[in-house]
């Protein structure tokens, strides 16, 4: 019996290994081909773990807040001087903006402009900074029950962070604009040149599909174009920084490591077509 | 008889410690630390854990447990579902094949072995991600991720060894 048991055990072990390797590969293929099923599985796991992550991510947030507090105390004087200058400058901008707003309102009435709907928003906390070396995603502690839906834009005070790609009941996954699979329709703010902002997992997404023969200058601001109707137009994204052999890089306004509370914009153009297929996180643009 | 039941129950619960700890490490590796540039180079904690338990107690972290850890990690991290499972299963296979070599050796030999296994694991993950996305994923973070993972190995395995001594002596 004992003589027989050992080879059988080894055989079962080897068979089990091959079976599980096969299942892993199968899951990857399934994820590529029929991402719906795999997505459901993923959502189920993240949804179940959301309350745990919510708790676990709090201490690190507290420590980060303390470090910021200490930093602020140390730099109090220089910070104060800088803010005074900023305040002076912003007061002038404020006056200019008020005047322009009034002027704009007058023109809009004269021309009978159809206004963009103002997006409502949901504020949520980042509970996981997932992905490691290969993907750039975040998890938020708000989901379908809070009104989050796939495709919605996610911003912080500085600019566009990403889009919602998976929605569970109480958690949602954000695909950052730096991710390999992120494609955002944008325009150059001053010249209105359209382009697609394509992530490549680095901190500097690229501007692609620029019209032929159009030059983009470093330092120009990039904002969302609102084309496709899924993202509100005019959200600040970043500024152009390098132009090496025809490739324009964009330095996002968002400070990636300080993200804590984010706003999910509930923006729906009246009459915009609902997406027939929910945006999957994986897979190329189809 | 009741005593016998509780005894067995106690052993079973203790036997789950390696799996529970490895799942916990998978969870910890997605907690946002808010350190600039840290997220892409988060050390591969589960690779350390699977390597460690495969040397010392492969009976308590069986293949199916490793598979589940991988699925859990992929689901949380947003990486291609199945890719981490595959990488962790390969780590286990390599270690178990070389287990006689590691047995009774010093910590330095064990660490040296990890320095050979870890690059393979990260490389395998990179190849799988690139195949899945159909594009060459930038391999830039991998170097730092590898260094951090190897540097963290002594600290983490020290903790795991403490747990093993305390809880799993007789399990």
**Residue A105 exposure: Cα atoms within 13 Å on the Cβ side:** 6
**A224 and A207 share a domain?**
yes
pLDDT of residue A275: 47
pLDDT digits (tens, 9 = 90+) for B121-132: 999 999 999 999
Are A83 and A149 found together in one domain? Answer: no
Contact A46 B81 (CB under 8 A): no
- Residue B171 is predicted with a pLDDT of 59
Nearest Cα to Cα of residue B80 among A167, A31, A20: A31
> Are A102 and A140 within one domain?
no
What pLDDT is recorded for position A1? 42
A195 and A80 part of one domain = no
pLDDT at residue B135, rounded to an integer: 84
pLDDT of residue B103 exceeding 60, the answer is yes
* Cβ-based neighbours of B4, under 8 Å, separated by 6 or more: none
The per-residue pLDDT for range A149-191, each reduced to its tens digit, is 988 999 998 899 999 999 999 999 999 999 999 999 999 998 8
How many structural domains comprise chain A? 2
- Give A138 or A10, the one with higher predicted confidence: A138
Same domain, A105 and A144: no
> Rounded to whole angstroms, how far apart are CA atoms B76 and A140?
12
Nearest by CB to residue A132, choosing from B75, B79, B135, is: B79
Q: Which residues of A touch B70 (CB under 8 A)?
A: 24
Q: Check which CATH number belongs to the domain holding A206 and give it.
A: 2.40.10.340
Q: Are A158 and A174 in contact (CB under 8 A)?
A: no
What's the whole-number average pLDDT of chain B?
Answer: 89
Q: What is the pLDDT of residues A185-199, one digit of tens each?
A: 999 998 899 999 999
**Contact by Cβ (8 Å): A250, A238:** yes
- Percent of residues, chain A, with pLDDT higher than 90: 41
> Based on the domain organization, do A220 and A256 belong to the same domain?
yes
Q: Provide the pLDDT for residue A26.
A: 93
Q: What is the mean pLDDT of residues B11-40?
A: 86
The pLDDT tens digits for B53-79 are: 999 888 889 999 999 999 999 999 888
The 10s digit of each residue's pLDDT in A79-116 is: 899 999 999 999 999 999 999 999 988 988 888 887 76
Interface touch B86/A21, C-beta < 8 Å: yes
What is the pLDDT of chain A when averaged over all its residues? Answer: 84
A219 & A179 share domain: yes
Q: Which of residues 135-154 of A touch B (CB under 8 A)?
A: 135-139
- Domain assignment of residue A19, yes or no: no
> What value of ipTM does the predicted structure carry?
0.87
CA distance A116 to A76: 41
The pLDDT of residue A75 is above 80: yes
- The H-or-E segment that residue A16 falls in is helix A2-33
In a domain, A133, yes or no: yes
In this complex, the residue of B76, B138, B140 whose CB is nearest that of residue A49 is B76
pLDDT of A244 over the 80 cut: no
Residue range(s) defining the domain that contains residue A204: 120-266
pLDDT value, residue A270? 53
- pLDDT at residue A144, as a whole number: 92
pLDDT of residue B114: 93
Q: What is the mean pLDDT of residues A230-239?
A: 89
Give how far A227 is from chain B: nearest CA, Å.
Answer: 25
Q: Which of A66, A92, A111 is the last residue of a domain?
A: A111
Let me know whether A104 and A154 are in one domain. Answer: no
Alpha-carbon distance of B45 to B156, in angstroms, equals 8
Contact A53/B at CB under 8 A: yes
pLDDT at residue A56 is higher than 80 = yes
H helices within B16-139, ranges in order? 17-28, 45-56, 63-77, 83-97, 99-102, 107-133
Q: Does A127 share its domain with A260?
A: yes
In a domain, A190, yes or no: yes
Share of chain B above pLDDT 90, in %: 53
Q: Decide if pLDDT at A282 tops 60.
A: no
User: pTM (2 decimals)?
Assistant: 0.83
Query: Is A48 inside any structural domain?
Result: no
On whether both A85 and A223 belong to a single domain, the answer is no
Sign of torsion over alpha carbons A86, A88, A90, A92: negative
> Binning pLDDT at 50, 70 and 90, where does residue A2 land?
very low
Angstrom distance (rounded) from CA B69 to CA B109: 26
Same domain, A104 and A170: no
Q: Residue range B10-28: average pLDDT?
A: 89
Q: Looking at beta carbons, which residues of chain A come within 8 Å of B61?
A: none
> Which of A9, A38, A56, A129 is the best residue to mutate to test the B interface, defined by the most B CB atoms within 10 Å of its own CB?
A129
């Amino acid at each position: 019996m004992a003589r027989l048991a050992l080879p059988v055990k080894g055989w079962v072990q080897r068979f089990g290994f091959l079976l599980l390797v096969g299942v892993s590969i199968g899951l990857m293929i399934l994820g590529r081909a029929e991402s719906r099923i795999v997505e459901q599985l993923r959502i189920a796991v993240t949804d179940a773990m959301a309350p745990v992550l919510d708790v676990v991510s709090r201490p690190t947030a507290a420590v980060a807040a303390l470090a910021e507090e200490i930093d602020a105390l140390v730099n109090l004087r220089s910070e104060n001087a800088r803010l005074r200058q900023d305040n002076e400058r912003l007061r002038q901008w404020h006056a200019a903006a008020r005047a322009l707003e009034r002027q704009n309102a007058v023109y809009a009435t004269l021309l009978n402009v159809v206004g963009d709907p103002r997006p409502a928003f949901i504020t949520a906390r980042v509970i996981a900074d997932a992905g490691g070396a290969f993907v750039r995603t975040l998890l938020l502690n708000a989901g379908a029950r809070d009104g989050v839906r796939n495709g919605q834009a996610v911003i912080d005070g500085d600019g566009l962070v990403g889009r919602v790609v998976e929605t569970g009941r109480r958690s949602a996954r954000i695909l950052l604009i730096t991710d390999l699979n992120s494609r955002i329709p944008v325009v150059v703010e001053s010249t209105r040149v359209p382009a697609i902002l394509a992530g490549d997992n680095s901190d500097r997404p690229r501007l692609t599909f620029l019209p032929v023969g159009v030059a983009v200058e470093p330092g120009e601001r990039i904002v969302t174009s609102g084309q496709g109707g899924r993202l509100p137009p005019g959200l600040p994204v970043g500024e152009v920084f390098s132009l090496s052999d025809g490739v324009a890089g964009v330095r996002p306004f968002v400070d990636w490591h300080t993200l804590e509370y984010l706003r999910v914009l509930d923006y729906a153009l009246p009459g915009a077509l609902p997406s027939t297929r929910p945006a999957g996180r994986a897979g190329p643009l189809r | 008889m009741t005593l016998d039941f509780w005894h067995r129950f106690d052993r079973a619960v203790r036997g789950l410690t390696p799996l529970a700890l490895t799942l916990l490490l998978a969870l910890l590796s997605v907690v946002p630390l808010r350190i600039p540039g840290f997220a892409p180079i988060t050390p591969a904690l589960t690779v350390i854990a699977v390597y460690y338990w495969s040397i010392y107690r492969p009976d308590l972290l069986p293949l199916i447990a490793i598979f589940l850890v991988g699925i859990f990690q992929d689901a949380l991290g947003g990486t291609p579902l199945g890719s981490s499972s595959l990488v962790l299963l390969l780590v286990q296979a390599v270690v178990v094949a070389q287990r006689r070599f590691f047995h009774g050796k010093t910590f330095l030999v064990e660490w040296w072995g990890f320095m050979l296994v870890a690059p393979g694991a990260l490389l395998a993950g990179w190849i799988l991600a690139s195949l899945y996305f159909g594009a060459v994923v930038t391999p830039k973070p991998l170097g730092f991720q590898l260094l951090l993972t190897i540097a963290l190995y002594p600290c983490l395995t020290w903790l795991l060894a403490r747990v093993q001594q305390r809880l799993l002596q007789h399990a």
